Structure 1
Amino acid sequence: MAMIDVGQLLKRMTMEEKVGQLMQLATPFFKGASDRGKITGPMERMNISEQMITNTGSVLGAWGAKEIKQIQQQHLEESRLGIPLLFMSDVVHGYRTIFPVPLAIGCSWDVTLVEKSAAIAAKEAAVSGIHVTFAPMVDLVRDPRWGRVMESTGEDPYLNGIFAKAQVNGFQGDDLTTNKESVASCVKHFAAYGAPEGGRDYNTVNMSERELRESYLPAYQAALEAGCEMVMTAFNTVDGIPATGNKRLMRDLLRDEWGFNGVLISDWGAVKELIPHGVAVGEQEAAKLALEAGVDIEMMTTTFINHIQLLIENGEIDARLLDEAVIRILELKEKLGLFVDPYRGADEKREQEVLRCQEHLQTAEELAGKSCVLLKNEAVLPLKREQKIALIGPFADSNDILGPWSFVGDKEDAITVKDGMLQKIQPDQLLVAKGMGVESGKKADLEAAMEKAREADVIVLALGEASEMSGEAGSRSNIKLPAIQLELIDRIRELGKPIVSVLFNGRPLDVAGLVEKSDAILEAWYPGSEGGAAIASLLYGDTNPSGKLTMSFPYSVGQIPVYYNHYHTGRPKDAPDAQIRYVSQYLDIPNEPRYPFGYGLSYTTYSYGGLQLSSTQLQAGEKLVINVTVTNTGQVAGEEIVQLYIQDKVGQVVRPKKELKRFESVYLTPGESKTLTFSITEEDLRYHHADLSYRSDVGEFIVFVGPNSKEGLEDTFTFVK
């Protein structure tokens, strides 16, 4: 493939053309777009000229091979130097084939399948003309009030890092230049966007640098180690400075310390938001702060295009900062092969063959099945095919199961729970009634549902949140099911029949009022295109649940944040000599979550035994081998996710009670036993000390191996140097 010299190209560019490369505009601004000119609200006030559009470097939110080729063709005809556009979109958990939301995907603990789902999403996006996806989101999350927890893989830095690498590898493949079925990945949101005060989106983040480095930065770093091409800035502050204008975060840490030389893009409008944040007096200062911080592309505001040239001419900004940004953008376009083939991969005919093909749908169903978590089962599941089932609730036949960030997915294509169950049983065995909507209902509909329930052997309640109740700007102070749904549960419970509750939601919920009245609870999240089929297979036992939570469920919103890897306190509730009252505790609920990190039931049971360490000591440069035997003690085959945690008993700074370090899935037939082998090294013992140095300490450690973060076997070893 012929290469271009981006340095020589830069020399031929005018100042206006250079600055234009730093601007990203939404699709309606561009000639060739089907919605050309449909510019309303804030976009209308941007005062974008045709010349600005001609010089623009990238497009936000275009979909479909035909339209993208039209836009690119129109652009190249008017571009003086023939510099192609970059097309970027939010392909977060699928393009047309929609997979479960990322929080659900995390609960599969299946790294191979996670990577495969990202590769499928990339393939569908690439054939439709997309070059860059704004994914993965790797923000660590501990507060389910925040709507965007659905877009993360959970509360653990180690696991988030594993999934970050898997998604980047899936999106980008082995070689972006030669693999036209890949897309460049943009990790977001840098940094610590997942820790807003009060769980309120776009709100202040306030934490120590040690906590930032210890818990929140590792997953971003893991994505970059996997070769992620782009980084998106966060909306929030970091140490009192908005991330988009935070030079210490973006230049000193991201670029200088970590060596990232890819493209840094702002989130939507984040550069101009430096003004209401109160760190810039106006747009000119906002542009200066962002460019000096290392931002290369400004998304959907115009501070760069309107002010950078003047700032350079006045000597307030070094022109080399502009050239560096332009070079990075051009290099990404070159890596994607756009100068040779500006329509890279976009193919209308192949688009029809690839989107939602059978292979992709099968993978979506498999991942949906593995993502569901069985939270409770009092011998009511799996259902028997001869039973008459009443399927009741707002999600009984709802196709609102794709979840947020599924823009190209079509709800009409989604397999509902009703659809899925009718694949398993005859129509006369399934009685379906909505009963009410998600947040409101009519008495007549409720009574009709009660009539259906009276005829049934088992009632399956399909409950949860409408998709707009989570996702971006979907923060909620009350994370219980809506009151109307709790009323439905109360009424159904009066019948005294077995109740199976299936939950559709984008966050861990406060399930008080549900858990006591349900005989079984299956957490389905937003399971994607094939969700109903996967759920039906789980309900009827054709698939054995294996999902495990990657974010804890609280007893009450008053516990939040509640997470498994919390720190020790000076007055722990479980201390041997603890006084009854004067310890760190709630008087009305437990300290621990209702359902902890790593928790999930199966239709079989497992026992753990034979925990054995290869030595009582670990020395630097060596490894400690840990063996454990897991046995299927039940009646059906199943897959168990075996988890290994450690605890540093004494550190220079307080250490978490447990930290996940390894996990492995094992498939076992009834009565079968297998011995799993893990190994850890000195690197697994490192942490950030008071001076922020990253190193290990000699001393005693506890190893825990079990089915979740709360249960399991334990042993000790000593690290010696």
Structure 2
Amino acid sequence: MKKEALKALFDQMTIEEKIGQTVQLAAPFFEENEQEITGPLNDMGITKESLWQAGSALGISGAEKTRKVQQDYLQHSRLGIPMLLMADVIHGFRTIFPIPLGLGATWNPELIKESAAIAAKEAAVSGLHVTFSPMVDLVRDARWGRVLESTGEDKYLNQQYARAFVEGYQGKDLKEDFSKVAACIKHFAGYGAPIAGRDYNTVEMTERTLREQYLPAYKEGIDAGAKLVMTSFNTIDGIPATGNQKLMRNLLREEMGFDGILISDWGAIGELVPHGVAEDLREAAKLAMKAGVDIEMMSPAYGKELQQVMEEDQQYAQLLDEAVWRILVLKNDLGLFEDPYRGADEAAEQAEIFNGKNREKAREIAEKAMVLLENDGTLPLKKEQKILIVGPKKDSRDLLGAWSWQGQQEETTTLMEAMSEKIRNENILSIEDETDLYNGLNSFHIAQIHEADVILVVLGESSEMSGEAASRSNIRLPENQLALLRELKKLNKKIVVTVFNGRPLDLTEVSNSANAMIEAWFPGTEGAAALVNTLYGEANPSGKLSMSFPRNVGQVPIFYNQDSTGRPLKEDAMSEKYFSRYLDVENTPLYPFGHGLSYTTFNFSKLFLSDNRLTKEDTLTVTVEVTNSGERKGVETVQLYIRDKVARVVRPVKELIGFKQVTLEPQETQAVTFTINEHQLAYTHTDYSVSSDAGEFEVMIGPNSSELQAASFSLEK
């Protein structure tokens, strides 16, 4: 529809129809069963008439169902304005990929873009128009359950992933390509930094920290063209984000240039009341509308109160018009006025959803997401070895994670099943009833175990232990799993541990017991097959952590790019007291940001800078030689860090500014080159301006954030 026609349609809308466009309701409201919808309708203050004016719905899927709902909706729509259908397609629709934290461990934005494109296509043929993804919140606290939706602790890495997700979901033209869906950046802003790691809790940070560390990934997603942004539940500077005019209108819209739809998270406008900044729903509606929130998800403030609000104060009529116009523009951008059933196709569902090609890509990505944390040479396993498989996760289909909305556990292969498909059954040993194992091994168990060459211990969280509203103060594995590991260690057998989980865990005790350990995350639909391929070396691990793993929960939040302090701990002063340190644990993480081993080895040498000075107009190249010194072909991620030695504001001890993946044959050497310019050295000053400072910089290159070679140059201005 041309803009003139869209404007003519807009001009015909009544106040009630406009308000309806700002209301989003969940799937049960549109089900046919009267008993299912009558209660919720009354609770929300919605009549049958206003139900069919709601501009969007969430959680409806399936081509047949979405076409039926849209058809019913249009029959009730005076002006024939289609409804937007949205859902949580987080890391796959029906074909489930690793959780985003696992995707982050690939250090491969192109793979993330591919996974998003597959998710979009499956969602689109099912009738969806919008996905509530990507979550680009920077996270440093592993206690927070929603860390599983994040891609990690680093702003630069998160920027690359934000763009990849958006481009994968949306493609180049939503109106022309019905295999794509609109992306929604979330949660604006700072949602990943709640005090004490407790979900929905207050966020307290300086504006400079917000701007420097947290905003870049949101900005990258917006610049990539994301059509929607979702508000966060938390406060910023004492004001809940959903009613925060400075955050949403001044910063998001005016400064960052976002002109798309701003949608609340579930119930967030109504939550302005318990937050204590609104006396009632009418005041909450005023605050949210002033902040520029266009769509209210599942709370009744707009639907019940906006008409009265406008009668009392005409300024809200203009704000409502702005919101409704943005909603209509998105519907037009999606091509819904030309085809309100956009992409929903039952035949295409059969061909596109959960097909072999999609599952093969899910397996490939799961392999690249797995991180080899420890290995003394026990891995890869050999097919002729006898492997005893124990642990509560060996027969589990709970490999999809908490946000796998359409994923089917019954379609998910267990690790035992995947092993049986790959290895002769006589080489796979198991204990039928493991109950007694957790209370000490008896002679029968010991006899079985002695047959084994290697014990594979399959541990982890359940999906309910991470995700939204799943914050934990104890981030160790369950005690019964640790008790099992302690018993097995007494037998002096080779132990390989695999872990399925949704957050960085305290794996200190596990690492002390394991000869080798693989971080498998919640790996998705094909995760078990990917893990078996990795265990046996058919896939050579290349994953790198995008978030630090602590030695214990007392270190949390822990992250690699902490600021310099006035009393930094020095290696030659480890026993002295008056430095920034713990008395009972090292400052360093158990596994640092960027860590990940391979079945081959890589050596870094000959770090070279093209010059020892850099000016604003010039660039400087940094080169390092990387050699595969092992016997297998492998992929190494070469990581480039920088440190500003003296600045007007205290700077981090190191910051990631680039990375490249190289594939090397055994004994092959490759020179890897990065280009540095003055823009990469800029940072946010106390007046919120962004610029660099002249002076000395240290450049560091290595396989992770701890093992680095360094050289220096000076910036001249």
Q: TM-score, normalised by structure 1?
A: 0.97
Q: Give the Å deviation of 1:449.
A: 6.3
In the alignment, which residue of structure 1 is the partner of 2:273? 275
Task: Determine the C-alpha separation between the residues in 1 that align with 2:691 and 2:432.
Answer: 57
Match of 1:18 in 2: 18
Partner AA of 2:465 in structure 1: M
Tell me the SS of whatever aligns to 1:5.
helix
**Does the residue aligned with 1:717 lie in a helix, a strand or coil?**
strand
Is the counterpart of residue 715 in structure 1 residue 707 in structure 2? no
**2:221 is matched by which residue type in structure 1?**
A
- Report the RMSD for the aligned CA atoms in angstroms: 1.8
1:705–1:43 distance in 2 versus 1, CA, 3 Å: farther
| Distance (Å, rounded) in 1 between the aligned partners of 2:408 and 2:446 | 32
In the alignment, what sits opposite 1:9? 9
Distance in 2, matches of 1:41 and 1:407, equals 25
Match of 1:381 in 2: 379
Structure 1 residues 300-333: Cα deviation after superposition (integer angstroms, max 9, x where no partner): 0110011111111111643110000000000000
Say whether the 8 Å CA contact 2:25–2:58 is kept in structure 1.
yes
Provide the residue aligned with 2:562 in structure 1.
566
8 A Cα contact 2:45 2:304, kept in partner: no
* One-letter amino acid of the counterpart of residue 73, structure 1: Q
- State the Cα distance separating 1:358 from its structure 2 match: 1.1
Gaps (5+ residues) in structure 2? none
Distance across 1 between alignment mates of 2:264 and 2:625: 49
Aligned to 2:677: 681
| Structure 1 segment 64-103 matched on structure 2, within 5 A | 64-103=62-101
Give how far 1:209 is off: 0.1
CA contact (8 A) 1:418 1:432 kept: no
Structure 1 residues 12 and 332: alpha-carbon distance in aligned structure 2, compared to 1, 3 A threshold: same
Structure 2 equivalent of residue 193 of structure 1: 191
Measure the CA separation in 2 of the matches of 1:579 and 1:465.
36
Partner secondary structure for residue 514 of structure 1: helix
Q: Paired residue for 1:49?
A: 47
Q: Which amino acid in structure 2 is aligned with residue 320 of structure 1?
A: Q
Give distance in 2, aligned partners of 1:263 and 1:448. Answer: 64
The one of 208, 211, 215 equivalent to 2:209 is 211
Distance 1:194 1:701, change over 3 A: same
Q: Deviations over 1:217-249 (max 9, x none)?
A: 100000001000000000000010000000000
CA 1:628–1:317 in structure 2 vs 1: closer, same or farther (change >3 Å)? Answer: same
CA distance in 1 between counterparts of 2:575 and 2:492 reads 42
**Contact 1:65/1:127 (8 A) holds in 2:** yes
Alignment correspondent of 1:508: 504
Residue 448 of structure 1: how far off its partner (Å): 7.7
Match of 1:110 among 94, 104, 108: 108
Structure 1 pair 589–577 and aligned structure 2 pair: CA distance change class (3 A): closer
How many angstroms apart in 1 are the aligned matches of 2:434 and 2:467? 23
Provide the rounded CA distance (Å) in 2 between the counterparts of 1:40 and 1:426: 57
Q: Which amino acid aligns with 1:474?
A: A
Query: Are the structure 2 counterparts of residues 449 and 523 from structure 1 closer, same or farther at C-alpha, using a change threshold of 3 Å?
Result: farther
Matches of 1:349 and 1:623 in 2, distance apart?
54
Matched, 1:28 2:28: yes
| CA pair 450-242 structure 1, distance change in 2 beyond 3 A | farther
The 8 Å contact of residues 289 and 316 in structure 2, kept in 1 or not, is answered as: no
Q: What amino acid is aligned across from residue 387 of structure 1 in structure 2?
A: Q
Work out the CA distance in 1 between the residues paired with 2:39 and 2:499.
36
Say whether the 8 Å CA contact 1:28–1:36 is kept in structure 2. no
CA distance in 1, matches of 2:58, 2:441: 43
1:444-593 equivalence runs, <5 A? 452-574=448-570, 580-593=576-589
Specify the code of the residue in structure 2 equivalent to 1:167. Answer: F
Shift, 1:432, TM fit: 2.9
Separation in 2 of the partners of 1:484 and 1:628? 46
1:610 aligns with 2:606: yes
Q: Confirm whether residue 398 of structure 1 aligns to residue 425 of structure 2.
A: no
Q: Decide whether aligned partners of structure 1 residues 213 and 42 sit closer, same or farther in structure 2, where only a CA change above 3 A counts.
A: farther
Deviates further, 518-527 or 35-44: 35-44
Q: CA deviation at 1:423?
A: 2.6
Aligned pairs, how many? 717
Cα displacement (A) at 1:451: 5.8
| Alignment gaps of 5+ in structure 1 | none
Aligned match for 1:360, one of 348, 355, 358: 358
The residue number in structure 1 matching 2:153 is: 155
Q: State whether residues 508 and 590 of structure 2, in contact with CA within 8 Å, keep that contact through their aligned partners in structure 1.
A: no
Distance in 1 (CA, whole Å) between partners of 2:33 and 2:459 is 37
- Shift in CA distance, 449/11, structure 1 to aligned 2, threshold 3 Å: farther
Percent identity reads 53
Query: In 2 relative to 1, CA 576–482 (structure 1 residues): closer, same or farther, beyond 3 Å?
Result: closer
1:469 shift after superposition: 0.3
Moved over 6 A (4+): 1-4, 40-44, 444-449, 575-579
Give the drift of 1:44.
Answer: 6.2
1:446·1:488 contact (CA, 8 Å) conserved in 2?
no
Q: Do the aligned partners of 1:613 and 1:624 also contact (CA within 8 Å) in 2?
A: yes
Counterpart of 2:305 in 1: which secondary structure?
helix
Aligned counterparts of 1:43 and 1:465: Cα–Cα separation in 2: 37
- Give the whole-Å Cα distance in 1 for the aligned partners of 2:437 and 2:202: 37
**Structure 1 residues 441 and 253, CA, compared in 2 at 3 Å: closer, same or farther?**
farther
Q: Deviations over 1:165-202 (max 9, x none)?
A: 00000000111110000000000000000000010000
Tell me the secondary structure at the aligned position of residue 607 of structure 1.
Answer: strand
Q: 2:667 aligns with which of 655, 664, 671?
A: 671
Distance 1:35 1:158, change over 3 A: farther
The offset of 1:415, in angstroms, is 2.2
Alignment check: 8 A CA contact 2:29 2:40 kept: no
C-alpha displacement at 1:7, in angstroms? 1.6
Alpha-carbon distance change, 24 to 173 in structure 1, aligned in 2, over 3 angstroms: same
Output the CA distance in 2 between the equivalents of 1:45 and 1:452: 60
Q: Does 1:332 align with 2:326?
A: no
Matches within 5 A, 1:121-200: 121-200=119-198
Q: Deviations over 1:388-410 (max 9, x none)?
A: 11111111021100001101010
CA distance, structure 1, for counterparts of residue 523 and residue 445 of structure 2: 25
Is the CA contact (8 Å cut-off) linking 1:3 and 1:334 kept in structure 2? no
Q: CA deviation at 1:636?
A: 0.8
Residues in 2 aligned to 1:56 and 1:448: alpha-carbon distance in whole angstroms: 65
Change (3 A) 1:450 1:505: farther
Structure 1's 441 and 332: CA in aligned 2 closer, same or farther, altered over 3 A? farther
Partner-residue secondary structure (3-state), 1:516:
helix
Structure 1 letter corresponding to 2:619: K
Q: What does the per-residue CA deviation read over 1:194-216, in whole Å, with 9 as the maximum and x for residues that have no partner?
A: 00001000000000000000101
Deviations 1:590-629, CA, capped at 9 Å, x for gaps: 1011100000011111100111111111111221111111
Map 1:252-291 to 2 at 5 A.
252-291=250-289
Asked if 1 retains the 8 angstrom alpha-carbon contact of 2:126 and 2:345, the reply is: yes
**Aligned-residue offset at 1:414:** 1.1
Cα distance in 1 for partners of 2:520, 2:613 equals: 43
1:233 aligned residue: 231
Shift of 1:36: 6.5
Letter in 2 for 1:523: E
Confirm or deny: 8 A CA contact 1:4 1:334 kept in the other structure: no
| Range 308-317 or range 158-167, more displaced | 308-317
Return the match for 1:416 from 411, 414, 417: 414
Q: 2-side partners of 1:648 and 1:38: how far apart?
A: 60
Q: Is the 8 A contact 1:27 1:36 kept in 2?
A: no
